[in-house]
Structure 1
Amino acid sequence: MKKYSGEIGLFAIAIIWGSGFIGTKLALDGGLSTIQTITLRFFIASIMLGIIFYKKIKENISKESLIAGALLGIFSFVGFTTQTLGLVYTTVSKNAFITAVNVVIVPFIGFILYKKKLDKIGVMSSFMALVGIAVLSLEADFSINFGDFLTFLCAISFAFHIFLTGEFSKKYNSYVLTVTQFVVAFLLSLIMQIARGETNFNTTSVGFMGALYLGIFSTAIGFLLQTICQSKVDQTRTAIILSTEAVFGTIMSVIIFHEVLTVRMVVGCIIIFASIIVAETKLSFLKKKCVEKSTKNVIESQIE
């Protein structure tokens, strides 16, 4: 069990993020704008983790870890902002699918920036996950618009965030990285909020409850777990496992909002989970069979 603690933690994050639509719906229905929701979620997460882990942060803080955390904060902000703005111009299903393209981008970032050898099985698994999300999310309309472009920028940002989290989490303290990125993302969100003239919070208690849910669970707990788990799991497998967010989001929408469970949803979920099995096993069971068959053929030929 300990051997797979990183993977188990990432599945937990996917479940948390899959439930994030509940908090978002509450926040928006309660009167908060999208940028106000983003600002509040990062503010709540910054304060919460900053207070709880103040001592550990103080003991492990360094100039390098602050720069690394700030870089993660920039990619978080760009990812969430372009995803949210993209929804203004495109459909929810296309937004979800294009965001998930990050699962394919991640392995190529390592290849381009760090000259890391591409894991063929990992890349194949990434494309499998993307196909599964396409089956799960996409409708008949495949036209491209401005919202799709913004969402693609979101996918790139999240891909860099996943990749760099994997790199930095092995070098720097998880608490410093996480809180620093939250503070930077909060400040950038606040600047955008002020620039858009959305300084008045005309919302209900339901709206703040939604923001609180996003701040505590989807942001503070989710991102902290991600940083810790990525020190144990490589970036490609991380991206594939986190892609199950779409699966858990679908399951919860069926349970909570009584959406009809279709064959397409089931097929999409099966393909995504199959991609994880391929990524984790590296098709070792097939290789084992091939070796056994080859050995058997050699023995039989020698007997003849």
Structure 2
Amino acid sequence: MPRSLSPSTLAHILLLGVVAVWGVTFVLVKDALNDASPLLFNLLRMTLATIALVIINHRHLRNINRTSLISGLIVGLFLAAGYQFQTAGLARTTAAKSAFITGLVVVFVPLFTIVPILRPANAHAPRWTTAIGALLAFSGLLFLTTPAGTTWQNLFSSIGIGDILTLVCAIAFAGHLLSLAHTSHKVPTAQLATLQIGTAAVIMAVTLPLGGKPHLTITLRLLIALGITSLVATAAAFTIQSWAQQHLPPTHTALLLTLEPVFAALTSVLFLHEHLGQRALIGAALILTGIAITELTATPSELPTHPV
């Protein structure tokens, strides 16, 4: 009889699978946006994820109190903002760029905890290495998003609107992680997961007109993208990540999570035939280095390390 996998080994495998799925979703969504407008895609994705989580967690939703409801609303607001800006930006930039810029959330979270009121009770002030990680990451951002020959005078005008929207998405996701850190210890996981996804779906329905006239063409690639992003990358991945991180050292989790934009870049080359030039590759490498330094040298705490 073969030996069963240890919880640690299984956690490594499952979290790597989750990270791979998160990376692939950039390509899936980018392709699916040919068949659905960005904000409508988000609404469909979150609605399906909400239905799945309600079915899975219905027994835990019977005793929702005021604290759970408020927490779910706050966390869901940041989550919705993150996805709205991310998908709107993805429609205007490449999947690989979107993934690397979104990865800056790992740098924004410790930077924001410099402000005491934003710092969760169980977190410490960021170390000096956070500044080095941030400097490398933001230097990489400039290389990734601007063409050769860019000067300080035309710096901002040379950055594409899709890249700017994605940067705002990373800031929103950082707010999502910090709000999770402030509320997750007060609310049962099943309740908070369902409420935040449900809140995001409602906000996406309200803000749908902001994206212009929505359009939808039912195709196989759209259905596949919706199925994977809502059921696998949201509902299932959140559950798997919560379990896996209980059995992994923080440094192992950090290293695995830095692979997300790598998976996105590889799949964008294979399936969308996107290519990063030499300058963009240098930028991507700097961003990954900055993320790794920020994650691996962070003071251990219970801060979540990735958006849902």
**TM-score for the superposition, normalised by structure 1:** 0.71
Shift of 1:75: 0.7
Could you tell me which of 183, 191, 206 is aligned with 1:191?
Answer: 206
Q: Verify: 1:69 aligned to 2:69, yes or no.
A: no
Query: Residue type matched to 1:78 in 2?
Result: A
User: Which stretch of the first structure deviates more once superposed, 18-27 or 32-41?
Assistant: 18-27
User: Is contact 1:22-1:210 (8 Å) kept?
Assistant: no
Shift of 1:24: 0.9
CA deviation string 1:124-151 (max 9, x = no partner): 445556666777x446255324724433
CA distance change for structure 1 residues 6 and 278 in 2, over 3 Å: closer, same or farther? farther
User: Is contact 1:254-1:260 (8 Å) kept?
Assistant: yes
Structure 1, gaps ≥5 residues long = 283-304
1:272 aligns with 288
CA deviation string 1:99-147 (max 9, x = no partner): 3332221112222124542223455445556666777x44625532472
User: Which stretch of the first structure deviates more once superposed, 119-128 or 1-10?
Assistant: 1-10
User: Is contact 2:19-2:260 (8 Å) kept?
Assistant: yes
CA deviation string 1:224-273 (max 9, x = no partner): 44556678899999777544321111222344456669887599559837
User: Which stretch of the first structure deviates more once superposed, 82-91 or 61-70?
Assistant: 82-91
1:296 aligns with none
CA deviation string 1:11-43 (max 9, x = no partner): 4433221010243144223x2111111001101
User: Which stretch of the first structure deviates more once superposed, 252-261 or 202-211?
Assistant: 252-261
User: Which stretch of the first structure deviates more once superposed, 250-259 or 233-242?
Assistant: 233-242
1:140 and 1:151 mapped to 2: Cα distance? 18
1:236 and 1:173 mapped to 2: Cα distance? 26
CA distance change for structure 1 residues 130 and 204 in 2, over 3 Å: closer, same or farther? same
Structure 2, gaps ≥5 residues long = 1-5, 299-308
Q: What secondary structure sits across from 1:53 in the alignment?
A: helix
1:109 aligns with 112
2:103 aligns with 100
CA deviation string 1:177-234 (max 9, x = no partner): 1111111111111122256574664322432222122111222223444556678899
Q: Verify: 1:251 aligned to 2:266, yes or no.
A: yes
Q: Verify: 1:55 aligned to 2:70, yes or no.
A: no
Could you tell me which of 152, 156, 159 is aligned with 1:144?
Answer: 156
How many percent identity over aligned positions? Answer: 28
Shift of 1:97: 4.5
The count of residues paired between Structure 1 and Structure 2 equals 280
What is the correspondence of 1:207-286 to structure 2 with a 5 Å cutoff? 207-226=222-241, 242-257=257-272, 265=281, 268=284, 272=288, 276=292, 279-280=295-296
**TM-score for the superposition, normalised by structure 2:** 0.70
Q: What secondary structure sits across from 1:111 in the alignment?
A: coil
Could you tell me which of 150, 169, 181 is aligned with 1:154?
Answer: 169
User: Is contact 1:27-1:207 (8 Å) kept?
Assistant: yes
Shift of 1:80: 1.6
2:277 and 2:202 mapped to 1: Cα distance? 42
1:54 and 1:190 mapped to 2: Cα distance? 23
2:91 and 2:207 mapped to 1: Cα distance? 17
Shift of 1:76: 1.2
CA distance change for structure 1 residues 156 and 44 in 2, over 3 Å: closer, same or farther? same
CA distance change for structure 1 residues 90 and 130 in 2, over 3 Å: closer, same or farther? same
Larger radius of gyration: 1
1:295 aligns with none
Query: Residue type matched to 1:144 in 2?
Result: F
2:128 aligns with 120
User: Is contact 1:162-1:235 (8 Å) kept?
Assistant: no
Shift of 1:46: 0.4
2:103 and 2:94 mapped to 1: Cα distance? 14
What is the correspondence of 1:162-201 to structure 2 with a 5 Å cutoff? 162-194=177-209, 198=213, 201=216
Q: What secondary structure sits across from 1:172 in the alignment?
A: coil
1:164 and 1:108 mapped to 2: Cα distance? 15
User: Which stretch of the first structure deviates more once superposed, 14-23 or 196-205?
Assistant: 196-205
Q: What secondary structure sits across from 1:144 in the alignment?
A: helix
Shift of 1:72: 1.5
- Bigger helix fraction: 1
1:277 and 1:98 mapped to 2: Cα distance? 16
